[in-house]
């Protein structure tokens, strides 16, 4: 037997009739053609096909109970926005996570749009239903003591002095100035901080001014003094072993090693240093507007997440230290 290529395997999976197809011939045909379209046009993997089909079949089983009979393609074309919202409420009552429910609704929209493109069924009501909002994530910063322990540990990871100095400079910059990893790795030698402030090009090519601690300048100067590769003004500030731009993955690996050595949680990533910068400023009396400008957030609501972090820390301290809390 000749082995199949990945494309052939996907095509065979799309053509195979999945178990549990509804009895309505028009709906069965729509599902089969949708699967073929996902494979041929979207390059969907077998795993993706399985997930999408599962989402669709959950919906069809709901409709069987909701309508009192196995649904037909015509039934799907007559559903209203209220019917789709009833499905969302049903799945929410089953305890499905909002992120999973959002994916399920995206699957349904994709199926309906595919049917519309193929001229099989048209129902714009599904586009009137919004996806449930995903849960608002709270930044996971390092404690101040952990952040201060990370900085010297980074310099001990490499036996090559200039690489150790480079990694120390990068991590010090991320924590000391609150930069995104992409912003830091996008700096050129000419962009390096030489005074008390530095201009940073952030998201949407929006420029901002950030203050620079002496420790940050000293770490970068020490790295450049050891860097073995030429450092013309337009070259990347942070380079890899061969002199090309340093990849974000290398910075992530550095933090992975630090996590292992210090026993830090998996949330201790390069981006967590930016969270730590903001949270520690807020904890020491920094105001939200200033922190918003330093981080380059377009909306204050994004920065306000750090007040939730600080409140959680205060509650943790209270619960562990207050006599009445311990008694409770």
How many degrees, rounded to 5, is the angle at CA 80 between CA 76 and CA 83?
85
What DSSP character marks residue 67? H
Helix (H) / strand (E) element for 201: namely strand 197-201
Q: For every one of its 328 residues, what pLDDT tens digit does the chain have, with 9 covering 90 and above?
A: 444 454 555 555 545 566 678 899 999 999 999 999 988 887 777 888 888 999 999 999 999 999 999 999 999 999 999 999 999 999 988 888 877 888 889 999 999 999 999 999 999 999 999 877 766 666 677 888 898 899 899 999 999 999 999 999 999 999 988 898 989 999 999 999 988 888 888 877 788 888 888 999 999 999 999 999 999 999 999 999 999 999 999 999 999 999 999 998 888 888 888 888 888 877 777 766 777 777 776 666 666 666 665 666 555 655 655 455 544 4
pTM beyond 0.85:
no
The catalytic residue positions are: 180, 203, 271, 274, 297, 306
Residue 309 backbone zone (phi > 0: left; psi -120 to 50: alpha; other: beta) = alpha
What does the alpha-carbon distance between residue 203 and residue 201 come to, in Å, rounded to a whole number? Answer: 7
Tell me the DSSP string of 106-164: HHHHHHHHHHHHTTS---GGGGGSPPPPPPPPPP-PPPHHHHHHHHHHHTTS-SSHHHH
């Amino acid at each position: 037997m000749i082995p199949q290529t990945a494309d052939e395997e996907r095509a065979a999976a799309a053509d195979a009739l999945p178990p549990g197809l509804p009895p309505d011939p028009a709906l069965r045909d729509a599902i089969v053609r949708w699967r073929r379209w996902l494979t041929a046009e979207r390059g969907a993997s077998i795993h993706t096909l399985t997930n999408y089909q599962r989402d669709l079949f959950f919906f069809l089983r709901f409709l069987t109970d909701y309508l009192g009979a196995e649904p037909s393609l015509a039934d799907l074309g007559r559903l209203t926005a209220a019917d789709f919202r009833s499905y969302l409420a049903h799945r929410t009552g089953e305890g499905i996570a909002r992120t999973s429910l959002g994916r399920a609704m995206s699957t349904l929209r994709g199926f309906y749009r595919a049917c519309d493109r193929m001229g099989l069924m048209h129902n714009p009501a599904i586009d009137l239903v919004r996806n449930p909002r995903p849960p608002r994530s709270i930044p996971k910063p390092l404690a101040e003591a952990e952040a201060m322990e990370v900085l010297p540990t980074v310099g001990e990871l490499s036996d090559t002095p200039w690489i150790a100095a480079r990694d120390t400079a990068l991590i010090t910059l991320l924590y000391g100035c609150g930069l995104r990893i992409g912003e830091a790795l996008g700096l050129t030698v000419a962009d390096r901080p030489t005074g008390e402030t530095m201009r940073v090009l952030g998201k949407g090519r929006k420029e901002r001014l950030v203050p620079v601690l002496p420790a940050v300048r000293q770490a970068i100067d020490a790295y450049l003094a050891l860097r073995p590769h030429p450092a013309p003004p337009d070259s990347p500030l942070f380079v890899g072993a061969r002199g090309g731009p340093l990849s974000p993955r290398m910075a992530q690996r550095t933090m992975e090693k630090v996590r292992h050595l210090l026993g830090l949680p998996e949330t201790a990533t390069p981006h967590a240093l930016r969270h730590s910068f903001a949270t520690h400023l807020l904890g020491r009396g920094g105001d939200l507007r200033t922190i918003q400008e330093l981080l380059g957030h377009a909306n204050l609501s994004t920065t306000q997440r750090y007040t939730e972090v600080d409140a959680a820390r205060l509650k943790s301290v209270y619960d562990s230290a207050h006599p009445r809390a311990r008694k409770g």
